[in-house]
A and B are shown apart, each in its own frame.
Chain A
Amino acid sequence: MTRPPVRHRIITASLLTVAALYFLVPVYWLAVSATKNSADLFGTFGFWFSDHPRPVEYLAEVLTYDHGIYARWFANSLFYAGVGAVCATLLSAAAGYALAKFPFRGREALFNVVLAGVLIPGTALALPLYFLFSAMGLSNTYWAVLIPSVVSPFGVYLCRIYAAAAVPDSLLEAARIDGAGEARIFGGLGLRLMTPALVTVFLFQFVHIWNNYFLPLVMLSDSGLYPIQLGLTSWTGYADRQPVLYQYTVGGAFLSVVPLMVLMTVLQRYWRTGLTEGSVKA
């Protein structure tokens, strides 16, 4: 392969650098601001540290404010996203596997319903879902956020495509001859062969639930059930009367963003494989 001309390399590098600045500067601002107290947040230049950066102290204040409500929100977010994503992955795997491996009448019709589900905007559903759950007495409970989070039409779609390609019929037949039941075949063989797709579904759903704002906003009124996003916006709502909440919002945003960004960067590889499965065969 011939080496590209130096001019090309310089242009490419500068364009990539400009883009990187655009994407990184806001995050850099957040990191710097998390080391400041309220006064410095307003009084010092945003892109540089104040004279007395105290990240540990100020972030500890975020965690202890209002009897540690922030830690509770964090735990709620982890609960909704963790439990929701695990259940969503298992349900999607079972449904996708069956749709790929068991020919039955109405299979395509069922799959088309799932595809329509992928295209329905989530927030258009959230309000009707609230009306329904509130009529059922389920609103303002953990269930109100958790139950809708375990349904992932995209997961079923991905699992079906993946199972069709990665789980050979001959292997299933062989297992059946050996006398294994369908549940054991699915648990022992199907799930193992589908692992890359399952990781992708889990990640997508985890991020989706973690980032979801509209559903918890309409469903929850008790701040003890809030996920982080909802909690932080409730702080900004009071910040006019209690300016220290600006500082806590910034610190809280920083604390919530760091773990997810680390996860993102580490797991990029899995995203790419999953995305290829999803887009190339669509």
Chain B
Amino acid sequence: MSRVTLDRRAGATSRPARRNGRGPRRPASRTEARNARTAAVFVLPFFALFGLCFLAPIGYALHQSLFITERTGPLGLGGRQREVFAGLANYAQALSDDRFLTGFGRVLLFGAVQIPLMIVLATALALLLESASARGVPFFRSAFFLPYGVPGVIASILWGFLYVPGISPLVKIAGDLGWDVDFLARGTVLWSIANIVTWQFTGYNMLVLIAQLKAVPGELYEAARIDGAGAWQIARHIKIPLIRPALVLTGVFSIIGTLQLFAEPMVLRPLASSIDSGFTPNLHAYSEAFVGNNQHAAAAEAVLLALVACVLSFGFLRLTGGRAKGRG
């Protein structure tokens, strides 16, 4: 960052030089007031919409989650409805709902397996592509990145066809080899979904890692090579430690992505009877809102989901950040 301020206004001392806010603090001057006004104009459109689309929904959901709908008609049907304050009843209900909790357990298991697998694969591919032994790098890089251009829903439709017996060439080939596979069975469908997610995002993560590898000065490798380090040693002791920040970044985004798991199970649902409306927490909240028509319960579940995502992301950041400091 360039902090060199060319003072073109020789002699014009009526205003203090702007020092990027890092200089000795000056009394609130006209410059500062003008700064604040200009900044306000620039940031206002974004923050107004940010407030509408991020803060207000969270506030509204928190509020909604504290109420329940009471129907006052005969038999509780029809008649008038009114909103009654219920405290944490919706949360208590969500947290004692077996299907909701099972869904959480399922995505956590999914993440614990799929995220490390994907990141290891992405790292391996990035290192292979950046190694001196690789040929045809632009082709392979594009090939690996291509699935990122396929939206989750399309990827799920696509793989869905590759999973369903009768249309899938994979099932047919496996059958011809005497291997009776069922990608959509109760025990396997979660891993079939993991395959879709891995297929889509490995190339993207690989590109993030390559970007960071490129930022490493080449002399570093040259020096290690002169010292007699092999390709594997350079990867293990120089490259991987240096791409830590990118690994952390991909890790955090993967955790957030996993908790949102929705499109894949939603699309595969008609094909796989083992996927129920509580398969993932998100699917559960969605069914609660649109099938069960219970906004308040859905709001509570959405809040819980956001909370868990934040705790996990920040926890992961702290964990990895702390270790990096310990090493340095």
Residues on A lying within 8 angstroms of B by beta carbon are 1-4, 8-9, 11-13, 15-16, 19-20, 22-24, 26-27, 29-30, 33, 41-42, 45-47, 91-92, 94-95, 97-99, 102-105, 107, 110, 113-114, 116-117, 119-125, 127-132, 135, 147-148, 150-151, 153, 156, 164-165, 168-170, 173-174, 177, 182, 186, 207, 210-211, 213-214, 218, 229-230, 232-233, 236-237, 240, 246, 249-250, 253, 256-257, 260-261, 263-265, 268, 271-273, 275-276, 278-280, 282
Contact = CB atoms under 8 A, between A and B. Distances in A.
B148 interface: yes
Nearest to B267: A233
A80 B286 CA distance: 23
Contacts of A33: 161
Contacts of A97: 42
B207 A275 contact: yes
B4 interface: yes
Contact of A20 (B140, B260, B302): B140
Interface in B124-177: 124-125, 128-129, 131-136, 139-155, 157-159, 161-162, 166-170, 172
B179 interface: no
B61 A127 contact: yes
B319 interface: no
A169 B153 contact: no
B212 interface: yes
A228 B111 CA distance: 28
B135 A13 contact: yes
Contact of B142 (A2, A46, A268): A268
Contact of A276 (B8, B56, B133, B215): B215
Nearest to B221: A1
Contacts of A164: 1
Contact of A102 (B39, B282, B298): B39
Contact of B152 (A120, A211, A271): A211
A104 B151 contact: no
Which 6 A-B pairs have CB atoms at the shortest separation, nearest pair first? A103-B21, A46-B169, A128-B61, A98-B42, A128-B57, A264-B149
Interface in B240-260: 245-246, 249, 252, 256-257, 259-260
Given A26-B199, A125-B53, 7 more contacts: A19-B143, A119-B256, A128-B58, A147-B53, A182-B41, A211-B152, A253-B158
A216 to B, nearest CB: 10
Contacts of B147: 23, 26-27
Interface in B35-63: 35-36, 38-39, 41-43, 45-47, 49-50, 52-54, 56-58, 60-61
Contact of A95 (B42, B148, B306): B42
A246 B161 CA distance: 9
Contact of B168 (A46, A123, A130, A272): A46
Contacts of B60: 128, 131-132, 135
Interface in B15-48: 18, 20-21, 32, 35-36, 38-39, 41-43, 45-47
Identify whether the interface residues of A are mostly helix, strand, loop, or mixed: helix
Nearest to B35: A102
Contacts of A282: 245, 249
B270 A213 contact: no
B6 A114 contact: no
B66 interface: no
A177 B8 contact: yes
B123 interface: no
B181 interface: no
A280 B32 contact: no
Contacts of A20: 139-140, 143-144
A23 B144 contact: yes
Contacts of B203: 23
A9 B5 contact: no
B277 interface: no
A27 B85 CA distance: 52
Given A23-B143, A168-B2, A272 B166 contact: no
B133 A12 contact: yes
Interface string B204-221: 000110111011000000
A143 B282 CA distance: 24
Contact of A122 (B49, B129, B260): B260
A102 B167 contact: no
B68 interface: no
Contact of A257 (B154, B168, B245): B154
Given A26-B199, A164-B1, A94 B43 contact: yes
A147 B8 contact: no
Nearest to B137: A16
